[in-house]
Amino acid sequence: MTPIVETRGLVKRYDDDLAVAGIDLLVGPGEIYGLVGPNGAGKTTTMRILATLLAPTAGEAYVTGIPVIADPNEVRRRIGYMPDFYGVYDDLRVWEYLDFFARCYGVPANRRGPMIGELLEIVDLGTKRDAYVESLSRGMRQRLCLAHTLVHDPALLILDEPASGLDPRARVEMREILRELRGMGKTILVSSHILPELGEMCTGVAIIDHGRVLRSGTIAEIERSLRASALLRIELLGDATDRDRATEWLGNEPAVADVLPVELDEPPAIRLDVSFDGPADAQADLLRRMIESGHRVVGFSQATTDLEEIFLKVTGQDVEDPAA
């Protein structure tokens, strides 16, 4: 079966900047595929190339088997694209806005009316049909923009940060809509700089940084590939001196990759998050030697890696505050 999205060695260079440094993607029909990475990782560039807005410096990109570079117009008929930053035509009514895009895609007049009604139902704007776009809230505009990507029943939706700038409730609504669209058989390529946002609904994820795919696969696969290095959560009794002493001691352990002291409000006052490369018996050994060296350990456990940590580990840098 033809993959919906396929890129091979995609490169985009801006002067001396390598925004995309050879990205290979393969997204099958019906998938929700997430591109995750910090800001500036190359997600938007990749999506803009697929949306026919940018020409790659090198490499190939196909949407439903059609080359993006050679036949952009055919590709445009098969994709619905929602950019990360976009404007809406304030002075149109909601239905006129969708009507305009439906006309752009040559949807016949007799199908436009009913289709606009259906789309507004999907994105939960049924009551806003005659409202001016200007009067919509940010979340509503986001949903309207999502609806506009659907007017021509495209095979692929390219959604660049669809949940950015939304409040938690609007995020949940957006996620519900994406699930519904997946149920309708759409393939969705979605980006975010927050992995957990995507984790629950994506069938596949590519973690991107500095223009490269660092890991790709299902969330479970990525998690497994990182299992070798466990995150230990060690809790101690004591004050700042004890903490520093423990940090230093752990730092001298060869199997410890990293120690991150975590501020806690209540006793036990110290917690250290420790990246540890080693099997379970090495962990037991570490605990024994810690106690023998006089550290008052009250808790020692392996943290279940959540998506946030996977992300941190893979990209090797701080993730931005999800609320930002």
Partner 1 sequence: MTATTAHAPAPTRPSPAREFLAAVVTIMVKELRSRMRGRRAFVVLTVYLGLLAFIAYAMYLVVSPLARDAAVGGFDQPGFQQANVSSLIGMAIFSVLSILQVVLVSVIAPAFTAGQISLEREKQTFDLLVTTPLRPGAIVIGKLATALAFVVLMILAAIPISAIVLMYGGAEVVDIVRQQLVLLATAIGFGSVGIFASALMKRTQAATVVTYCAVIGAILGSAMLFSFWQTVARADDPLGLQPNGGAPEQIRFVNPMVAMLDVVAHVEPAGGTQLTRPLYQLFGADLSAFPQPDAPLGRDEPAPAPVLDTRAAGYWWPRVSLSLIGVAALLTVGAMRLVVPAQGGWRSRRRPTTPSGATIEDQEP
User: Can you give the binding site for partner 1, defined by CB under 8 A?
Assistant: 2, 6, 12, 14, 17, 19-20, 29, 39-46, 48, 51-55, 62, 64-66, 69, 72-74, 76-79, 81, 83-89, 91-92, 96, 100-101, 103-106, 145, 148, 154-155, 211
CB of 320 to partner 1, least distance (A): 13
User: Do the strands 156-160 and 32-36 form a parallel or antiparallel pair, or are they unpaired?
Assistant: unpaired
Residue closer to partner 1 by CB (options 48, 295) is 48
CB of 77 to partner 1, least distance (A): 5
Residue closer to partner 1 by CB (options 138, 224) is 138
Residue closer to partner 1 by CB (options 28, 117) is 28
Residue closer to partner 1 by CB (options 148, 182) is 148
Q: Which helix (H) or strand (E) holds 286?
A: helix 280-292
CB of 193 to partner 1, least distance (A): 10
Expressed in percent and rounded to 5, the helix, strand and coil fractions of the chain are 35, 30, 35
The 10 Å Cβ neighbour count of residue 280 is: 9
Write the DSSP string, 13-27.
Answer: EETTEEEEEEEEEEE
Q: Could you tell me the two tokens for 83? A: 């950019």
What's the rounded Cα separation, in Å, for the pair 275 and 240?
21
CB of 140 to partner 1, least distance (A): 16
Cβ neighbors of 2 (< 8 A, separation 6 or more) are 64, 65
CA distances for 279 relative to 158, 232, 276, 282, 284, angstroms: 41, 12, 9, 5, 9
- Nearest-CA neighbor of 310 among 188, 234, 216, 235? 216
Cβ neighbors of 146 (< 8 A, separation 6 or more) are 82, 123, 159, 162, 174, 177
Residue closer to partner 1 by CB (options 34, 154) is 154
Q: Which helix (H) or strand (E) holds 205?
A: strand 204-209
CB of 71 to partner 1, least distance (A): 8
Q: Is the dihedral of CA 113, 115, 118, 123 positive or negative?
A: negative
Residue closer to partner 1 by CB (options 188, 286) is 188
CB of 148 to partner 1, least distance (A): 7
CB of 23 to partner 1, least distance (A): 12
Residue closer to partner 1 by CB (options 6, 309) is 6
Residue closer to partner 1 by CB (options 65, 251) is 65
CB of 86 to partner 1, least distance (A): 5
